Structure 1
Amino acid sequence: MKNYLEQLIKKVPKENKGYNYISTIEISIPVSMCAINVIRRKETGLQLAEEIIMKLIDNDVTTVIELSEILGLDKEIIDDVVGKLYIKEFITVTAGNCILASKGKKVMESLKEVKLEQGTIAPVFINLITGEIYTDKYSNQADNYVKKDNVLNGKIKINLEYFNERFGDIKDIFDIQQKAYGATKLSKISLYKIESVEENKIQYLNIKSNLYKNKTGEEIEIISQDNIIQKIQSEILEQMINQNKFKYTFKNRNKYKMLSNDEWETKINDKNDGIRKLIKDYNKADRNEEQMISEKFYRIYKADRIIIENELELMIEELSNGVKEINIYINRLGDILFDEEYIIPLCKAIKKGSKIIIYYNFENNLDKTLSSARNNFPEIKNIEIKKEESVFEELIINFENRYEIKTQYYDIKVFGDKYITKSISSIYNLN
């Protein structure tokens, strides 16, 4: 595969000194998308004609004819301005005489008209874990979560009381929007009151994160390119331990053979030290050195070895190229149909014309499993599935007897009474 090395480098988790990498998970942070109904205070400067006419009325020039003569303007123009002042309740008209109303007298003191108007600030987003309020949607913010089990429970209740407590933050957003497109030289608009809140829907910040376990203890560290994960790390761990979040990643009991930290580290590094060194060297190499490292890598990357972390999907896709038939042997059928590391590259192989046969031992509800899997990956309908009596102790993928991938599963105790199942996959060159 062209650029296999470059793609692998992007997938391999970064080293975290004193810790072992254990898994990559998608963490979904709930975000409330709201519309905030507000009352805004609008100060508008008087039009020049309105100001002059009100001043003249205040000085006993009270009829349209008198105003027309003094200003030298047509009576129709004066009628129009007087009509507007009357509608605004700045003046009253009695027996043809204009008189300043109390509202007009107040306006004359500042020469500004003040109105309270209804408005809406939307959309406004509230991070239900951190409380961050913002209006520009993040690039990784979506209507759907990746896995329901990985959605954190929100800590913030969205209601009018909450927004009144955060009035200053809402005012800042309001002011920024007014500077952008709401205000003019003749008017000044400010936030007066928050009236109500409409919560339209919940969205999610989906953030891919790496989990690491301390080599000598049970401490877990979560690392992501998104800084928000570091800020809420204690909250994530609390929900893992006490609210049973990520229960399909962190299980309450072990199912497979247990491995200690040292045993795990020994197994995952078996016969791949050379590959790992080349990846490290490539990351700090100049262009000439990159070519030399690439040549070394492509000479050995399909040799018998342990497949390194997050490489499996890439390797299955690589070994599937040009293969007419792929045979898979597995104990429980669902373990492969719902594992994206396996099924995504296998679906790609189907599209390229490969025939895939899965031999399995058991599945609790075959029809339901197949129906659900096909909804996620329609290509699965083209996979030939056969039940076998002979027990498969490990997952085996055979690529026309050219190469074979074997996978074994182990459990590691990570913290408290929580366990994580880890797979170790090996490539074997059968040529």
Structure 2
Amino acid sequence: MLQISFIRQNTDLVKERLSVKHFDDLLLVDKVVKIDEQVRKLKVESETLQADLNAASKAIGLLMGKGEKEAAEQKKQEVIQHKSTLQQLNDQLNIAERELHDSMIKFPNLPHTSVPKGKSPEENEVVKEGGIKPSLPENALPHWDLIKKYDLVDFETGTKITGSGFPLYKGKGAKLQRALIQYFLDYNTAAGYTEYLPPLMVNEASAYGTGQLPDKEGQMYHATADGLYLIPTAEVPVTNIYRDEIVKETELPIKMTAYTPCFRREAGSFGSDVRGLNRVHQFDKVEIIQLVHPDTSYDVLEAMVTHVERLLNHLQLPYRILRLCGGDMSFTSALTYDFEVFSAAQQKWLEVSSVSNFETYQTNRMKIRYKNADGKIQLLHSLNGSSLALPRVVACLLENNQTETGINLPKVLHSYFGAPLI
């Protein structure tokens, strides 16, 4: 959530930045400034009246001690009137604060100045391309046919057990999932990330903290009887580890990684874009999260991008890095880089990672703060990235490495998978 003090002091800048994200209610900026003025005025009035009430209450005791009962009784009536007025003021303040909060949560995060102003994915900026696209024979198969050929995933039984979009991995397909997860975790922990295994369901406060609520409630599976949500990414439970915490500056940066299954209700429309593993409701992903000093967050973002890029190089997958335009960014992000790998059999780019800086947007919601050397308490910056999401990585590994004798996995996976070939 944006900070009201920043909006109040930078109204025109806020409007300009929101327009980059194509936020269509810029009048809301002026509205929240007016509500904030009302809130601050009511707080002053309430505090002043509370001070008068305290003074009158103290005076009653002094008057009673002197035996001035009539004067004390007059003060008691004054206190009664003050209490009634104070209750009315506090009721007005509570209503105004709720209106301010409800208005503030409608604002997306402000995009960084480097964010392109486009509206659609086609206007994202390609900042780098790496790796070598393989040359496949004319009879090369897409991954959904390779999956059937090598009996790696049973989509039909997954549909029977649960529903469409819930794949059942089996045999070497299950083993490849396990190998990739272990490799990704080892790669991340070697870079200084602490591993967590978090709950797969979160409460409303956790989902609100990272910005899934109220923006993405339609994308999450909701266990209504208990008010819990299945996580769409490990970002949600892991970042919330530090909700309502104040850490020491010397503890920074805080680097965390976690493997979890991820659950997303909206898996796209029908067609080739959602065939096989291209888009599913349940998938495995390894996430990296950092909580850092505000002065270092954009250096950390670049380091996290490099971290993911090296991982794709180790997997020998052709990739490109995109800087997302305002219209394609998430509600909570200030700057996002997407990683796409090239699917040689489908002849298309598939997203496998997003690496984002949220600045104080999430930490303001979760009240994740740090105390500097001078004892001042400030909000941290939060960042996260996929390292990596498995389904499309698996799709490209299968397609790009197919041979007449099997799938020739990259060397880095041999010790994890136990064989060079599927």
TM-score under structure 2 length normalisation: 0.23
TM-score under structure 1 length normalisation: 0.23
* Larger fraction in helix: 2
* Larger fraction in strand: 1
Q: Which has the larger radius of gyration?
A: 1
